[in-house]
Structure 1
Amino acid sequence: MPPSSDRTTASAKPAGGSGGVQSLERAFDLLERMADAGGEVGLSELSGSSGLPLPTIHRLMRTLVACGYVRQQPNRRYALGPRLIRLGESASRLLGTWARPHLARLVEETGETSNMALLDGDEVVYVAQVPSRHSMRMFTEVGRRVLPHSTGVGKVLLSHSSDEEVRALLARTGMPAATERTITSPDAFLRVLEEVRAAGYAVDDNEQEIGVRCLAVSVPDSPTPAAISVSGPAGRVTEEATERIVPLLQEVAADLSKALAGNGLGAG
Protein backbone atom coordinates (compact mmCIF):
# COMPACT_ATOMS: atom_id res chain seq x y z
CA MET A 1 0.00 0.00 0.00
CA PRO A 2 1.26 3.50 -0.65
CA PRO A 3 2.33 5.55 2.36
CA SER A 4 -0.49 7.39 4.07
CA SER A 5 -0.64 11.00 2.95
CA ASP A 6 -3.01 12.22 5.65
CA ARG A 7 -1.40 10.85 8.80
CA THR A 8 -1.36 13.52 11.49
CA THR A 9 2.12 14.45 12.62
CA ALA A 10 2.79 13.12 16.08
CA SER A 11 4.09 16.46 17.29
CA ALA A 12 0.76 18.08 16.37
CA LYS A 13 -1.20 15.79 18.68
CA PRO A 14 -2.02 17.17 22.10
CA ALA A 15 -0.36 15.32 24.96
CA GLY A 16 -2.73 12.58 26.00
CA GLY A 17 -5.36 14.17 23.74
CA SER A 18 -7.45 11.01 23.73
CA GLY A 19 -6.95 10.33 27.42
CA GLY A 20 -3.98 8.09 26.63
CA VAL A 21 -0.25 8.20 27.22
CA GLN A 22 1.57 10.40 24.73
CA SER A 23 4.70 8.23 24.55
CA LEU A 24 2.56 5.19 23.66
CA GLU A 25 0.70 7.14 21.00
CA ARG A 26 3.99 8.29 19.53
CA ALA A 27 5.54 4.80 19.62
CA PHE A 28 2.59 3.23 17.79
CA ASP A 29 2.57 6.11 15.32
CA LEU A 30 6.23 5.41 14.54
CA LEU A 31 5.50 1.70 14.03
CA GLU A 32 2.73 2.56 11.59
CA ARG A 33 5.01 4.98 9.74
CA MET A 34 7.62 2.22 9.47
CA ALA A 35 5.00 -0.11 8.02
CA ASP A 36 3.91 2.57 5.53
CA ALA A 37 7.55 2.96 4.46
CA GLY A 38 7.95 -0.77 3.77
CA GLY A 39 9.19 -1.86 7.19
CA GLU A 40 12.63 -0.23 7.28
CA VAL A 41 13.49 3.44 7.82
CA GLY A 42 16.17 5.78 9.11
CA LEU A 43 15.72 8.13 12.05
CA SER A 44 15.86 11.21 9.82
CA GLU A 45 13.03 9.83 7.68
CA LEU A 46 10.90 9.23 10.76
CA SER A 47 11.67 12.70 12.04
CA GLY A 48 10.71 14.25 8.71
CA SER A 49 7.39 12.42 8.44
CA SER A 50 6.34 12.60 12.10
CA GLY A 51 7.58 16.06 13.03
CA LEU A 52 9.16 14.70 16.20
CA PRO A 53 12.70 15.76 17.18
CA LEU A 54 15.45 13.21 16.66
CA PRO A 55 16.23 12.75 20.39
CA THR A 56 12.59 11.84 21.05
CA ILE A 57 12.51 9.36 18.18
CA HIS A 58 15.81 7.84 19.25
CA ARG A 59 14.52 7.32 22.79
CA LEU A 60 11.28 5.70 21.57
CA MET A 61 13.10 3.47 19.09
CA ARG A 62 15.57 2.36 21.75
CA THR A 63 12.62 1.21 23.89
CA LEU A 64 10.97 -0.57 20.93
CA VAL A 65 14.26 -2.32 20.13
CA ALA A 66 14.62 -3.47 23.75
CA CYS A 67 11.09 -4.92 23.61
CA GLY A 68 11.73 -6.72 20.30
CA TYR A 69 9.18 -4.75 18.27
CA VAL A 70 11.92 -3.02 16.27
CA ARG A 71 15.45 -4.09 15.44
CA GLN A 72 18.44 -2.06 14.33
CA GLN A 73 20.05 -3.18 11.09
CA PRO A 74 23.82 -3.26 10.48
CA ASN A 75 23.37 -0.18 8.27
CA ARG A 76 21.97 1.68 11.35
CA ARG A 77 18.48 1.83 9.90
CA TYR A 78 15.54 0.44 11.86
CA ALA A 79 13.26 -2.42 10.81
CA LEU A 80 10.05 -3.86 12.23
CA GLY A 81 10.92 -6.63 14.67
CA PRO A 82 9.93 -10.30 14.95
CA ARG A 83 7.72 -9.89 18.03
CA LEU A 84 5.21 -8.07 15.83
CA ILE A 85 4.65 -11.31 13.89
CA ARG A 86 2.99 -12.96 16.86
CA LEU A 87 0.75 -9.94 17.39
CA GLY A 88 -0.13 -9.84 13.71
CA GLU A 89 -1.02 -13.52 13.58
CA SER A 90 -3.27 -13.19 16.63
CA ALA A 91 -4.94 -10.09 15.19
CA SER A 92 -5.52 -11.87 11.87
CA ARG A 93 -7.25 -14.73 13.67
CA LEU A 94 -9.47 -12.28 15.53
CA LEU A 95 -10.25 -10.47 12.28
CA GLY A 96 -11.38 -13.78 10.82
CA THR A 97 -13.51 -14.52 13.87
CA TRP A 98 -15.31 -11.18 13.62
CA ALA A 99 -15.81 -11.70 9.88
CA ARG A 100 -17.46 -15.11 10.11
CA PRO A 101 -21.05 -13.94 10.83
CA HIS A 102 -20.85 -11.66 7.80
CA LEU A 103 -19.48 -14.45 5.62
CA ALA A 104 -22.26 -16.70 6.90
CA ARG A 105 -24.81 -14.18 5.63
CA LEU A 106 -23.21 -14.35 2.17
CA VAL A 107 -23.43 -18.14 2.18
CA GLU A 108 -27.04 -18.00 3.37
CA GLU A 109 -28.08 -15.61 0.60
CA THR A 110 -25.94 -16.93 -2.27
CA GLY A 111 -25.51 -20.61 -1.42
CA GLU A 112 -21.81 -20.37 -2.28
CA THR A 113 -18.59 -20.45 -0.27
CA SER A 114 -17.45 -17.13 1.19
CA ASN A 115 -13.92 -16.12 2.18
CA MET A 116 -12.02 -13.28 3.76
CA ALA A 117 -8.43 -12.63 2.73
CA LEU A 118 -5.64 -10.21 3.63
CA LEU A 119 -2.58 -9.01 1.75
CA ASP A 120 0.44 -10.18 3.75
CA GLY A 121 3.61 -9.00 2.12
CA ASP A 122 3.48 -10.18 -1.48
CA GLU A 123 0.92 -12.91 -0.84
CA VAL A 124 -2.78 -13.28 -0.21
CA VAL A 125 -3.63 -15.21 2.95
CA TYR A 126 -7.13 -16.54 3.67
CA VAL A 127 -8.10 -15.79 7.28
CA ALA A 128 -11.77 -16.86 7.37
CA GLN A 129 -14.14 -19.06 5.44
CA VAL A 130 -17.73 -20.24 5.62
CA PRO A 131 -18.20 -23.15 3.21
CA SER A 132 -21.13 -23.70 0.91
CA ARG A 133 -23.69 -26.34 1.79
CA HIS A 134 -23.09 -27.86 -1.63
CA SER A 135 -20.78 -30.87 -1.79
CA MET A 136 -18.32 -29.17 -4.17
CA ARG A 137 -15.53 -27.46 -2.26
CA MET A 138 -13.22 -24.67 -3.45
CA PHE A 139 -9.43 -24.80 -3.37
CA THR A 140 -9.27 -22.28 -0.55
CA GLU A 141 -8.91 -23.00 3.13
CA VAL A 142 -8.07 -20.84 6.13
CA GLY A 143 -4.33 -20.23 6.33
CA ARG A 144 -3.67 -20.91 2.66
CA ARG A 145 -1.38 -18.46 0.87
CA VAL A 146 -1.52 -17.74 -2.84
CA LEU A 147 -0.07 -15.18 -5.22
CA PRO A 148 -2.50 -12.31 -5.81
CA HIS A 149 -2.47 -12.17 -9.62
CA SER A 150 -4.66 -15.27 -10.05
CA THR A 151 -7.38 -14.53 -7.49
CA GLY A 152 -10.32 -12.15 -7.22
CA VAL A 153 -9.33 -11.10 -3.71
CA GLY A 154 -5.77 -10.48 -4.87
CA LYS A 155 -6.93 -8.22 -7.70
CA VAL A 156 -9.13 -6.21 -5.35
CA LEU A 157 -6.34 -5.84 -2.80
CA LEU A 158 -3.79 -4.75 -5.41
CA SER A 159 -6.25 -2.32 -7.02
CA HIS A 160 -5.47 0.10 -4.17
CA SER A 161 -1.77 0.14 -5.02
CA SER A 162 -0.05 2.22 -7.68
CA ASP A 163 0.98 0.67 -10.99
CA GLU A 164 4.63 1.00 -9.97
CA GLU A 165 4.03 -0.90 -6.73
CA VAL A 166 2.10 -3.62 -8.55
CA ARG A 167 4.83 -4.03 -11.16
CA ALA A 168 7.44 -4.31 -8.40
CA LEU A 169 5.40 -6.97 -6.60
CA LEU A 170 4.85 -8.97 -9.80
CA ALA A 171 8.57 -8.77 -10.55
CA ARG A 172 9.29 -10.29 -7.12
CA THR A 173 6.67 -13.06 -7.28
CA GLY A 174 6.54 -13.81 -10.98
CA MET A 175 3.19 -14.63 -12.57
CA PRO A 176 2.99 -18.43 -12.74
CA ALA A 177 -0.09 -19.83 -14.46
CA ALA A 178 -2.39 -21.82 -12.18
CA THR A 179 -4.62 -22.55 -15.19
CA GLU A 180 -4.65 -21.63 -18.87
CA ARG A 181 -6.89 -18.69 -17.93
CA THR A 182 -4.42 -17.13 -15.47
CA ILE A 183 -3.18 -13.66 -16.41
CA THR A 184 0.59 -13.88 -16.87
CA SER A 185 1.40 -10.45 -18.34
CA PRO A 186 1.97 -7.42 -16.08
CA ASP A 187 0.49 -5.09 -18.70
CA ALA A 188 -2.64 -7.21 -19.03
CA PHE A 189 -2.93 -7.44 -15.24
CA LEU A 190 -2.68 -3.66 -14.84
CA ARG A 191 -5.46 -3.24 -17.42
CA VAL A 192 -7.61 -5.59 -15.35
CA LEU A 193 -6.89 -3.57 -12.21
CA GLU A 194 -8.17 -0.47 -14.00
CA GLU A 195 -11.42 -2.34 -14.68
CA VAL A 196 -11.58 -3.42 -11.03
CA ARG A 197 -11.19 0.17 -9.83
CA ALA A 198 -13.94 1.34 -12.18
CA ALA A 199 -16.35 -1.49 -11.37
CA GLY A 200 -15.70 -1.73 -7.62
CA TYR A 201 -15.26 -5.50 -7.68
CA ALA A 202 -13.00 -8.18 -9.17
CA VAL A 203 -13.62 -11.48 -10.92
CA ASP A 204 -11.51 -14.63 -10.95
CA ASP A 205 -12.88 -16.47 -13.97
CA ASN A 206 -11.31 -19.96 -13.91
CA GLU A 207 -7.92 -18.32 -13.25
CA GLN A 208 -7.01 -20.10 -10.01
CA GLU A 209 -9.01 -23.28 -10.51
CA ILE A 210 -10.75 -24.52 -13.64
CA GLY A 211 -14.50 -24.61 -13.21
CA VAL A 212 -14.53 -22.06 -10.37
CA ARG A 213 -15.60 -18.44 -10.57
CA CYS A 214 -15.02 -15.92 -7.77
CA LEU A 215 -16.33 -12.41 -7.11
CA ALA A 216 -14.51 -10.17 -4.62
CA VAL A 217 -14.74 -6.69 -3.08
CA SER A 218 -12.62 -4.69 -0.65
CA VAL A 219 -13.56 -4.15 2.97
CA PRO A 220 -13.56 -0.34 3.24
CA ASP A 221 -11.51 1.32 5.97
CA SER A 222 -10.12 -2.02 7.14
CA PRO A 223 -7.16 -1.72 9.56
CA THR A 224 -5.18 -3.80 7.08
CA PRO A 225 -5.96 -4.38 3.38
CA ALA A 226 -8.79 -6.94 3.36
CA ALA A 227 -11.26 -8.39 0.89
CA ILE A 228 -14.24 -10.74 0.98
CA SER A 229 -15.38 -13.02 -1.80
CA VAL A 230 -17.98 -15.49 -2.97
CA SER A 231 -16.73 -18.53 -4.91
CA GLY A 232 -18.57 -21.30 -6.65
CA PRO A 233 -18.84 -23.40 -9.79
CA ALA A 234 -18.79 -21.31 -12.96
CA GLY A 235 -22.14 -22.82 -13.87
CA ARG A 236 -23.73 -21.21 -10.79
CA VAL A 237 -21.67 -18.02 -10.36
CA THR A 238 -22.72 -16.78 -13.80
CA GLU A 239 -22.82 -13.29 -15.31
CA GLU A 240 -26.48 -13.12 -14.32
CA ALA A 241 -25.66 -14.18 -10.76
CA THR A 242 -22.90 -11.54 -10.65
CA GLU A 243 -25.48 -8.76 -10.92
CA ARG A 244 -27.16 -10.09 -7.78
CA ILE A 245 -24.08 -11.13 -5.78
CA VAL A 246 -21.87 -8.03 -6.18
CA PRO A 247 -24.29 -5.55 -4.51
CA LEU A 248 -24.71 -8.05 -1.67
CA LEU A 249 -20.92 -8.37 -1.32
CA GLN A 250 -20.58 -4.60 -1.18
CA GLU A 251 -23.32 -4.32 1.43
CA VAL A 252 -21.78 -7.02 3.61
CA ALA A 253 -18.31 -5.45 3.24
CA ALA A 254 -19.72 -2.12 4.46
CA ASP A 255 -21.40 -3.86 7.42
CA LEU A 256 -18.16 -5.68 8.25
CA SER A 257 -16.28 -2.38 8.13
CA LYS A 258 -18.71 -0.91 10.68
CA ALA A 259 -18.32 -3.99 12.89
CA LEU A 260 -14.52 -3.67 12.83
CA ALA A 261 -14.78 0.01 13.71
CA GLY A 262 -17.05 -0.94 16.61
CA ASN A 263 -14.33 -3.33 17.84
CA GLY A 264 -11.85 -0.49 17.72
CA LEU A 265 -10.14 -1.90 14.61
CA GLY A 266 -11.31 0.57 11.99
CA ALA A 267 -8.74 2.69 10.21
CA GLY A 268 -8.53 6.09 11.80
Structure 2
Amino acid sequence: MDSLKSKSNPVPALERGARILDLVARSRSFLSLSEISRELKIARSSVHTLCHTLINLELLIRRSDQTFQLGPHVMRWSNAFSLQSDVATEFASIWDHETELPGATITLTVLEGAEVIYIAARNSAWSNTRIDFRTGMRLPAAFTATGKAFLSHMSDFEVRRLYPEGLPPVRTPRSVQDVDNLLKELQEIRQRGYSCDDEQVAEGIVCFGAAVLDSRNRPIAGVAVSLPNESVDEGVQKKAIANVKRIATQLSHRMGADLHGPTNPVRS
Protein backbone atom coordinates (compact mmCIF):
# COMPACT_ATOMS: atom_id res chain seq x y z
CA MET A 1 0.00 0.00 0.00
CA ASP A 2 2.81 2.40 0.93
CA SER A 3 4.62 1.74 -2.38
CA LEU A 4 1.47 2.59 -4.37
CA LYS A 5 0.98 5.74 -2.36
CA SER A 6 4.57 6.87 -2.93
CA LYS A 7 4.16 6.43 -6.70
CA SER A 8 1.06 8.64 -6.77
CA ASN A 9 2.51 11.29 -4.44
CA PRO A 10 6.05 12.31 -5.48
CA VAL A 11 8.20 14.22 -3.01
CA PRO A 12 7.80 17.91 -4.02
CA ALA A 13 11.30 18.99 -2.98
CA LEU A 14 12.94 16.13 -4.89
CA GLU A 15 10.84 16.85 -7.96
CA ARG A 16 11.74 20.57 -7.85
CA GLY A 17 15.40 19.75 -7.37
CA ALA A 18 15.32 17.54 -10.47
CA ARG A 19 13.63 20.34 -12.43
CA ILE A 20 16.40 22.74 -11.41
CA LEU A 21 19.08 20.30 -12.55
CA ASP A 22 17.28 19.74 -15.86
CA LEU A 23 17.01 23.48 -16.43
CA VAL A 24 20.69 24.11 -15.66
CA ALA A 25 21.69 21.17 -17.88
CA ARG A 26 19.80 22.34 -20.96
CA SER A 27 20.47 26.08 -20.60
CA ARG A 28 22.97 27.59 -23.04
CA SER A 29 24.06 30.15 -20.46
CA PHE A 30 24.70 30.05 -16.73
CA LEU A 31 21.55 30.94 -14.77
CA SER A 32 21.17 33.03 -11.64
CA LEU A 33 18.88 32.29 -8.70
CA SER A 34 16.29 34.80 -9.97
CA GLU A 35 16.37 33.35 -13.49
CA ILE A 36 15.83 29.82 -12.21
CA SER A 37 12.96 31.02 -10.01
CA ARG A 38 11.32 32.91 -12.88
CA GLU A 39 11.80 30.10 -15.44
CA LEU A 40 10.42 27.32 -13.21
CA LYS A 41 7.82 29.52 -11.45
CA ILE A 42 9.14 28.47 -8.04
CA ALA A 43 9.45 30.95 -5.16
CA ARG A 44 12.92 32.49 -4.94
CA SER A 45 13.25 31.42 -1.28
CA SER A 46 12.50 27.80 -2.22
CA VAL A 47 14.99 27.91 -5.10
CA HIS A 48 17.63 29.31 -2.73
CA THR A 49 17.11 26.42 -0.27
CA LEU A 50 17.08 23.79 -3.01
CA CYS A 51 20.19 25.15 -4.72
CA HIS A 52 22.03 25.29 -1.40
CA THR A 53 21.23 21.59 -0.86
CA LEU A 54 22.25 20.70 -4.41
CA ILE A 55 25.57 22.52 -3.90
CA ASN A 56 26.23 20.57 -0.70
CA LEU A 57 25.57 17.35 -2.63
CA GLU A 58 27.97 18.50 -5.38
CA LEU A 59 25.13 18.36 -7.90
CA LEU A 60 25.49 22.09 -8.53
CA ILE A 61 28.41 24.52 -8.40
CA ARG A 62 27.94 28.21 -7.58
CA ARG A 63 30.14 30.29 -9.87
CA SER A 64 31.90 33.51 -8.86
CA ASP A 65 29.21 35.58 -10.61
CA GLN A 66 26.51 33.83 -8.51
CA THR A 67 25.22 31.74 -11.41
CA PHE A 68 25.07 27.95 -11.38
CA GLN A 69 26.50 25.04 -13.34
CA LEU A 70 26.27 21.26 -12.92
CA GLY A 71 28.52 19.74 -10.29
CA PRO A 72 30.87 16.72 -10.37
CA HIS A 73 28.38 14.36 -8.72
CA VAL A 74 26.37 14.38 -11.94
CA MET A 75 29.36 12.89 -13.78
CA ARG A 76 29.53 10.04 -11.26
CA TRP A 77 25.94 9.18 -12.12
CA SER A 78 26.74 9.47 -15.81
CA ASN A 79 29.69 7.09 -15.45
CA ALA A 80 27.56 4.65 -13.44
CA PHE A 81 24.87 4.77 -16.13
CA SER A 82 27.45 3.96 -18.78
CA LEU A 83 28.79 1.01 -16.79
CA GLN A 84 25.34 -0.35 -16.04
CA SER A 85 24.01 0.09 -19.59
CA ASP A 86 25.39 -2.96 -21.34
CA VAL A 87 24.76 -2.42 -25.03
CA ALA A 88 25.29 -6.11 -25.82
CA THR A 89 22.68 -7.14 -23.24
CA GLU A 90 20.23 -4.57 -24.55
CA PHE A 91 20.92 -5.78 -28.09
CA ALA A 92 20.17 -9.39 -27.14
CA SER A 93 16.92 -8.36 -25.46
CA ILE A 94 15.45 -6.85 -28.62
CA TRP A 95 16.93 -8.68 -31.62
CA ASP A 96 14.35 -11.48 -31.72
CA HIS A 97 11.43 -9.11 -31.24
CA GLU A 98 12.54 -6.55 -33.80
CA THR A 99 13.88 -8.65 -36.66
CA GLU A 100 11.38 -9.10 -39.45
CA LEU A 101 13.86 -11.02 -41.62
CA PRO A 102 14.08 -14.63 -40.37
CA GLY A 103 16.97 -15.55 -42.70
CA ALA A 104 19.14 -12.61 -41.69
CA THR A 105 22.31 -12.58 -39.63
CA ILE A 106 22.38 -9.79 -37.03
CA THR A 107 25.62 -8.48 -35.54
CA LEU A 108 26.79 -5.89 -33.03
CA THR A 109 30.30 -4.41 -33.06
CA VAL A 110 32.47 -1.83 -31.35
CA LEU A 111 35.27 0.14 -32.97
CA GLU A 112 38.90 -0.29 -31.93
CA GLY A 113 41.35 1.66 -34.02
CA ALA A 114 40.73 0.81 -37.67
CA GLU A 115 38.92 -2.46 -36.89
CA VAL A 116 35.52 -3.48 -35.62
CA ILE A 117 35.23 -6.16 -32.94
CA TYR A 118 32.12 -8.33 -32.90
CA ILE A 119 30.58 -8.40 -29.43
CA ALA A 120 27.32 -10.16 -30.33
CA ALA A 121 26.09 -12.14 -33.33
CA ARG A 122 23.11 -14.23 -34.28
CA ASN A 123 24.08 -16.18 -37.38
CA SER A 124 21.52 -17.64 -39.72
CA ALA A 125 22.04 -21.06 -41.29
CA TRP A 126 23.23 -19.72 -44.64
CA SER A 127 25.83 -17.35 -43.17
CA ASN A 128 27.95 -20.19 -41.81
CA THR A 129 28.61 -21.34 -45.37
CA ARG A 130 30.15 -17.96 -46.33
CA ILE A 131 31.34 -16.26 -43.15
CA ASP A 132 30.77 -17.13 -39.51
CA PHE A 133 30.48 -13.97 -37.41
CA ARG A 134 31.85 -14.81 -33.95
CA THR A 135 32.15 -12.86 -30.72
CA GLY A 136 35.68 -11.45 -30.57
CA MET A 137 36.12 -11.56 -34.35
CA ARG A 138 37.91 -8.56 -35.89
CA LEU A 139 37.43 -7.13 -39.38
CA PRO A 140 38.64 -3.94 -41.11
CA ALA A 141 36.21 -1.11 -40.38
CA ALA A 142 36.57 0.25 -43.91
CA PHE A 143 34.88 -2.83 -45.42
CA THR A 144 32.11 -3.62 -42.91
CA ALA A 145 28.68 -2.02 -42.68
CA THR A 146 29.08 -1.30 -38.95
CA GLY A 147 32.60 0.02 -39.46
CA LYS A 148 31.43 2.41 -42.16
CA ALA A 149 28.63 3.56 -39.83
CA PHE A 150 31.27 4.40 -37.21
CA LEU A 151 33.56 6.13 -39.70
CA SER A 152 30.71 8.25 -41.06
CA HIS A 153 30.64 10.05 -37.70
CA MET A 154 34.28 11.11 -38.16
CA SER A 155 35.55 14.04 -40.18
CA ASP A 156 37.50 13.37 -43.38
CA PHE A 157 40.65 14.48 -41.55
CA GLU A 158 40.08 11.93 -38.78
CA VAL A 159 39.48 9.16 -41.30
CA ARG A 160 42.67 9.99 -43.21
CA ARG A 161 44.60 10.04 -39.94
CA LEU A 162 43.25 6.57 -39.20
CA TYR A 163 44.76 5.28 -42.46
CA PRO A 164 48.12 7.07 -42.88
CA GLU A 165 49.43 4.26 -45.09
CA GLY A 166 46.20 3.59 -46.95
CA LEU A 167 43.52 0.94 -46.47
CA PRO A 168 44.25 -2.67 -45.50
CA PRO A 169 44.42 -5.39 -48.19
CA VAL A 170 41.06 -5.97 -49.84
CA ARG A 171 38.97 -8.99 -48.80
CA THR A 172 37.00 -9.28 -52.04
CA PRO A 173 37.17 -7.66 -55.49
CA ARG A 174 34.37 -5.34 -54.34
CA SER A 175 36.20 -4.03 -51.23
CA VAL A 176 36.86 -0.29 -51.29
CA GLN A 177 40.48 0.11 -52.36
CA ASP A 178 41.58 3.60 -51.31
CA VAL A 179 40.80 6.32 -48.80
CA ASP A 180 39.37 8.75 -51.35
CA ASN A 181 36.70 6.28 -52.41
CA LEU A 182 36.02 5.41 -48.78
CA LEU A 183 35.39 9.09 -48.05
CA LYS A 184 32.89 9.21 -50.93
CA GLU A 185 31.06 6.24 -49.40
CA LEU A 186 31.00 7.91 -45.99
CA GLN A 187 29.50 11.09 -47.44
CA GLU A 188 26.69 9.03 -48.97
CA ILE A 189 26.12 7.27 -45.63
CA ARG A 190 25.73 10.61 -43.84
CA GLN A 191 23.15 11.72 -46.38
CA ARG A 192 20.99 8.58 -46.38
CA GLY A 193 21.33 7.58 -42.70
CA TYR A 194 22.56 4.00 -43.06
CA SER A 195 25.64 2.14 -44.30
CA CYS A 196 26.05 -0.72 -46.74
CA ASP A 197 28.66 -3.42 -47.27
CA ASP A 198 27.87 -4.76 -50.73
CA GLU A 199 30.00 -7.92 -50.76
CA GLN A 200 33.05 -6.03 -49.44
CA VAL A 201 33.66 -8.44 -46.54
CA ALA A 202 32.57 -11.71 -48.13
CA GLU A 203 31.32 -12.51 -51.59
CA GLY A 204 27.62 -13.23 -51.69
CA ILE A 205 26.80 -11.23 -48.53
CA VAL A 206 25.16 -7.80 -48.40
CA CYS A 207 25.04 -5.98 -45.04
CA PHE A 208 23.14 -2.88 -43.96
CA GLY A 209 24.30 -1.05 -40.84
CA ALA A 210 23.66 1.86 -38.49
CA ALA A 211 25.40 3.39 -35.49
CA VAL A 212 24.24 3.12 -31.88
CA LEU A 213 24.68 6.43 -30.05
CA ASP A 214 25.40 7.12 -26.38
CA SER A 215 24.24 9.91 -24.07
CA ARG A 216 26.61 12.34 -25.85
CA ASN A 217 25.13 11.33 -29.21
CA ARG A 218 28.44 9.74 -30.19
CA PRO A 219 28.66 6.22 -31.71
CA ILE A 220 29.45 3.46 -29.21
CA ALA A 221 28.41 0.44 -31.28
CA GLY A 222 27.28 -0.58 -34.72
CA VAL A 223 24.44 -2.92 -35.62
CA ALA A 224 24.10 -4.69 -38.96
CA VAL A 225 21.72 -7.02 -40.76
CA SER A 226 23.37 -9.35 -43.29
CA LEU A 227 21.62 -11.21 -46.09
CA PRO A 228 22.57 -13.42 -49.03
CA ASN A 229 22.98 -11.28 -52.12
CA GLU A 230 20.60 -13.41 -54.19
CA SER A 231 17.72 -12.81 -51.77
CA VAL A 232 18.01 -9.02 -51.70
CA ASP A 233 15.42 -7.45 -54.00
CA GLU A 234 14.08 -3.93 -53.60
CA GLY A 235 11.44 -4.95 -51.08
CA VAL A 236 13.84 -6.97 -48.92
CA GLN A 237 16.38 -4.15 -49.02
CA LYS A 238 13.84 -1.59 -47.79
CA LYS A 239 12.75 -3.92 -45.00
CA ALA A 240 16.37 -4.65 -43.95
CA ILE A 241 17.27 -0.95 -43.87
CA ALA A 242 14.16 -0.05 -41.87
CA ASN A 243 14.88 -2.94 -39.51
CA VAL A 244 18.49 -2.05 -38.78
CA LYS A 245 17.69 1.63 -38.33
CA ARG A 246 14.90 0.76 -35.89
CA ILE A 247 17.16 -1.52 -33.84
CA ALA A 248 19.89 1.16 -33.76
CA THR A 249 17.34 3.77 -32.68
CA GLN A 250 16.00 1.59 -29.87
CA LEU A 251 19.49 0.77 -28.64
CA SER A 252 20.50 4.44 -28.81
CA HIS A 253 17.45 5.40 -26.76
CA ARG A 254 18.33 2.78 -24.14
CA MET A 255 21.90 4.08 -24.03
CA GLY A 256 20.66 7.59 -23.23
CA ALA A 257 20.99 9.26 -26.65
CA ASP A 258 19.00 12.44 -27.26
CA LEU A 259 17.48 11.45 -30.59
CA HIS A 260 15.37 14.60 -30.80
CA GLY A 261 18.17 17.02 -29.98
CA PRO A 262 20.83 18.52 -32.24
CA THR A 263 23.23 16.06 -33.86
CA ASN A 264 26.99 16.38 -33.81
CA PRO A 265 28.00 17.87 -37.18
CA VAL A 266 30.74 16.17 -39.17
CA ARG A 267 33.18 18.51 -40.85
CA SER A 268 34.86 17.52 -44.06
TM bin, normalised by shorter chain, reads 0.5 to 0.7
Per the alignment, residue 223 of structure 2 pairs with 228
Contact map agreement 1:110 1:245 (CA 8 A) in 2: no
**Off by >3 Å, runs of 4+ in structure 1:** 12-15, 21-29, 90-94, 105-110, 220-224, 237-240
Contact map agreement 2:167 2:178 (CA 8 A) in 1: no
Q: Judging changes above 3 Å, is the alpha-carbon distance between structure 1 residues 174 and 136 closer, same or farther for their aligned structure 2 residues?
A: closer
**Equivalents in 1 of 2:114, 2:73: separation in Å?**
29
The letter for the 2-side match of 1:179 is T
Structure 2 counterparts to residues 52-201 of structure 1, below 5 A: 94-107=86-99, 109-132=101-124, 134-137=125-128, 138-171=131-164, 174-201=167-194
Specify every segment of 5 or more residues in structure 1 that has no aligned partner in the other structure, as ranges.
1-6, 33-86, 263-268
Q: Per the alignment, in what secondary structure is the counterpart of residue 216 of structure 1?
A: strand
Q: With the length of structure 2 as denominator, give the TM-score of the two structures.
A: 0.61
Q: Per the alignment, in what secondary structure is the counterpart of residue 116 of structure 1?
A: strand
Given candidates 196, 203, 210, the residue that maps to 1:210 is 203
The letter for the 2-side match of 1:198 is Q
Deviations 1:166-188 (A, max 9, x none): 01112267331011111111111
Which structure: larger Rg?
A: 2
**Within the alignment, does 1:255 sit opposite 2:250 as a pair?**
yes
Question: What do you get for the CA RMSD once the two structures are aligned?
Answer: 3.5
Contact map agreement 1:129 1:142 (CA 8 A) in 2: yes
Q: With the length of structure 1 as denominator, give the TM-score of the two structures.
A: 0.61
Deviations 1:203-252 (A, max 9, x none): 11111111111111112446652111011211123444111111121122
The letter for the 2-side match of 1:214 is C
**Equivalents in 2 of 1:135, 1:111: separation in Å?**
8
Contact map agreement 2:145 2:208 (CA 8 A) in 1: yes
What is the CA distance between 1:108 and its match in structure 2? 5.1
Deviations 1:82-139 (A, max 9, x none): xxxxx9xx9599321221122223545442110111112332111111222x343233
Structure 2 counterparts to residues 27-42 of structure 1, below 5 A: none
Specify every segment of 5 or more residues in structure 2 that has no aligned partner in the other structure, as ranges.
1-24, 32-53, 61-69, 258-268
